[in-house]
Structure 1
Amino acid sequence: MLIAAALFAVAAGAAEPAGPVAGQAPHMAYRTGDYAFQMFVPRGYGDDRKTRWPLMIFLHGSGERGTDVSVVAKWGPPAVVSRHPGTPMLIASPQLPAGDWDVATLDRLLADLRRTYRVDDARIYLTGLSLGGMATWRWALAHPALFAAIAPVAAKTPTDAACTLKDLPIWALHGDRDEAVPVRGDFEMVEAVRACRGNVAPRLTVYPDTDHFSWVPAYDDPALWRWIGEQRRVSSR
């Protein structure tokens, strides 16, 4: 209930058909080469056809790659909303068949989601864990103006283009005993973004005595969900 309560605020927009039914359901890829995905539709989505909803995109880690899209609900936001079905947010959780996340394919997915669902373009959030956390950094670096906020978990990325993200709300989360992806990866990127002196200071949470599975405390924290829900994309960014 705390997570749902932290997020409950929606804004009105242009009218569109209601369509999707509340709950979480798998969706096949729109086209060959696209990602299949789990889609969570919040309660009340079909009640008012003028209301536009925040959208979170969650990118899983290497362990959930494959062709059974249901496995993406093992961790992260899709697992959280299965316990908190009142969460007032659209959540798309694509599945990577193999290899690494591709930004162009993710771009197509987001375009399709915006056509299919009543998405509030000022409240599109991106998060991911491990391999998906690295893709979170990478996608945001490619298109920083797309997102209202990002939350990479247990991730890393090169710092060369850090200033691209200086005005984007960022909350990175990591375990201090992560041997798979050492915490210095997120730490160095957050410090590099902070040094660019943008309009908003990036955040970093380091969990003590926590290994690579830092996404468990991260996504179970109502404070993270509350912070995400408070962010709005600045049109001039």
Structure 2
Amino acid sequence: MMKHKIFLIALLFSFITYAQKDINGILKTEIVQKHEMGYALHIPVNTKEKKPLIIFLHGSGEKGTDIEKVKIHGPFKYLKTHDLDAYVLAPQCPENEEWDNEVLYRLILKIEKENNIDPNRIYLTGLSLGGWGTYNLGFAHPNLFAALVPISGFVDLIQLEQACTIATIPTHIFHGLMDDVVNLDYAIAIYKELKKCNGNVELTIFDDSGHDSWSRVYDNKEIYDWMFQQIKKQ
């Protein structure tokens, strides 16, 4: 009787083993992601001639859907009391998200298509999280920008490895010596990497400034004059 049981178990195991098989296949599918991003756009008085475009990326405190937040700092704050003969675009990063290069790129293309913008005078700047976004977008689309102005921005390790990608773009980095939110070392590190690539880069460190080193930059006519002098090389 025991021999019959052993035989049946062996036969069943043999059948299960024989029934197992591997298959190979291919799945074809398409995943569509939808994104929504608000923005503010300043249009210069005279639009008959092509004008520069300044793109401003705000910090983490201005995320959300209240578009007025993007006007608290940066070029839109400057525009409250001064004129700029340029388009100024300020996207707003959605809550619980970071700056998305592809979404920003598509927004820039849309604004460029719908307005009389000089493609050789597109400038990208941002503060804090927007400084990080400025590096990221610059690395992703280095042929798009005539100048970069990151302020109080942190830098990822992978960004340091890509530094040479933006070496030919005139870049002016600003940071506060007493910044206790984003360490000054980030600005120094990417500055040194760009210098290794013979990059066209300047670093300004404000000795008496903390994290908010952007107010004295954006509230000053000099930074806009500097940007407007930069023309993208063909």
Q: TM-score range by the shorter chain?
A: 0.7 to 0.9
**Residue 125 (structure 2) aligns with:** 127
Amino acid at match of 1:92: L
**Residue 156 (structure 1) aligns with:** 154
Find the aligned partners of 2:195 and 2:220 in 1 and give their Cα distance.
Answer: 24
**Residue 76 (structure 1) aligns with:** 74
**Residue 215 (structure 1) aligns with:** 214
**Residue 186 (structure 2) aligns with:** 185
**Residue 93 (structure 2) aligns with:** 96
Which runs of 5 or more residues in structure 2 are unaligned?
A: 1-33
**Residue 61 (structure 2) aligns with:** 63
Count of residue pairs the alignment pairs up = 198
- 8 Å CA contact 1:140–1:165 kept in 2: the answer is yes
For residue 57 of structure 1, give the secondary structure of its aligned residue in structure 2: strand
Deviation at 1:203, TM superposition (A): 0.5
Amino acid at match of 1:96: C
Q: CA RMSD in A?
A: 1.3
More helix by proportion, 1 or 2? Answer: 2
Amino acid at match of 1:40: H
For residue 66 of structure 1, give the secondary structure of its aligned residue in structure 2: coil
**Residue 108 (structure 1) aligns with:** 106
**Residue 146 (structure 1) aligns with:** 144
For residue 183 of structure 2, give the secondary structure of its aligned residue in structure 1: coil
Find the aligned partners of 2:80 and 2:44 in 1 and give their Cα distance.
Answer: 11
Deviation at 1:42, TM superposition (A): 1.2
Which runs of 5 or more residues in structure 1 are unaligned?
A: 1-31
Deviation at 1:222, TM superposition (A): 2.1
- Where in structure 2 are the equivalents of 1:163-174 lying within 5 Å? 163-174=164-175
Superposed CA offset, 1:128-179 (max 9, x none):
0000110000000111110000000001223111111111100010110001
For residue 144 of structure 1, give the secondary structure of its aligned residue in structure 2: coil
- 8 Å CA contact 1:174–1:205 kept in 2: the answer is yes
TM-score (norm 2): 0.82
For residue 214 of structure 1, give the secondary structure of its aligned residue in structure 2: coil
Q: Which moved more, 1:211-220 or 1:32-41?
A: 32-41
Structure 1 or 2, whichever has the larger Rg, is 2
For residue 156 of structure 1, give the secondary structure of its aligned residue in structure 2: coil
Deviation at 1:190, TM superposition (A): 1.1
**Residue 9 (structure 1) aligns with:** none
For residue 161 of structure 2, give the secondary structure of its aligned residue in structure 1: coil
Amino acid at match of 1:41: I
Identity of aligned residues (%): 34
**Residue 38 (structure 2) aligns with:** 36
**Residue 10 (structure 2) aligns with:** none
Deviation at 1:38, TM superposition (A): 0.8
Find the aligned partners of 1:183 and 1:197 in 2 and give their Cα distance.
Answer: 21
TM-score (norm 1): 0.81
Find the aligned partners of 2:59 and 2:116 in 1 and give their Cα distance.
Answer: 27
